[in-house]
Structure 1
Amino acid sequence: MTLKFLGIIPNTPDTDSPTIWLDQETGDLLIQSYRATEEEVKACREIGSIPGHSTDVPDHETIVRLPKVMLQYIPKPDSE
């Protein structure tokens, strides 16, 4: 795996630092951020996604809260 650092919230303390990396082999993003609260997870389950799709969060997945300021580090598709 070859990772490329994309960004971190500026001026964060060294113990509270949402960060984004790009896996240069797959194009996947790896995101370190705040774990969603139980209330936020409950709201996501209530809204759901597409009809017939489970609203449960599998053990191998999680919901994270990505601060708005971090959106600037998400790469645009090559076509843009």
Structure 2
Amino acid sequence: MALRFIGIDPDTGQQGSPTVWVDEAKGELVLQGWKPDRELEAECAAFEVPGHAPGMPPHEAVIRIPARMVPVLRKACDVAEGTEL
């Protein structure tokens, strides 16, 4: 897998920062974020989405990304879709 680094939380320190990459071969975003607290994770798992089974599969995870990273996520979407200017 060849990942393309897109960006990191602009308010980051030296450790454990939300980061965004794109797997260009698969057209997928790869995200590193903060783990949610158990309450938020349970709320997400309990959320009902039409046409989907309730709960969260064991191979999926909830992460948190700060809103200040929206520009980084937009760029990652453009790269993944091949529409980057």
State the TM-score, normalized to the length of structure 1.
Answer: 0.80
Greater fraction strand: 1
Identity fraction in percent: 31
Distance, in Å, in 2 between the alignment partners of 1:10 and 1:26 is 26
Query: Per-residue CA shift, 1:29-63, capped at 9, x if unaligned?
Result: 11000112111112223332225x22211111111
Distance, in Å, in 1 between the alignment partners of 2:71 and 2:47 is 26
What's the counterpart of residue 37 of structure 1?
37
Q: Partner amino acid for 1:55? A: P
What's the counterpart of residue 59 of structure 2?
60
Distance, in Å, in 2 between the alignment partners of 1:71 and 1:43 is 23
Greater fraction helix: 2
Distance, in Å, in 2 between the alignment partners of 1:4 and 1:54 is 33
Query: Per-residue CA shift, 1:7-43, capped at 9, x if unaligned?
Result: 1011411213100000011110110001121111122
| Aligned residues: CA RMSD | 1.6
User: Where do 5+ consecutive residues of structure 2 fail to align?
Assistant: none
User: Where do 5+ consecutive residues of structure 1 fail to align?
Assistant: none
Residues 4 and 46 (structure 1), Cα distance of their counterparts in 2 relative to 1, 3 Å cut? same
Distance, in Å, in 1 between the alignment partners of 2:39 and 2:64 is 12
Count of residue pairs the alignment pairs up? 77
Greater than 4 Å deviation, 4+ residue runs: none
Distance, in Å, in 2 between the alignment partners of 1:24 and 1:61 is 21
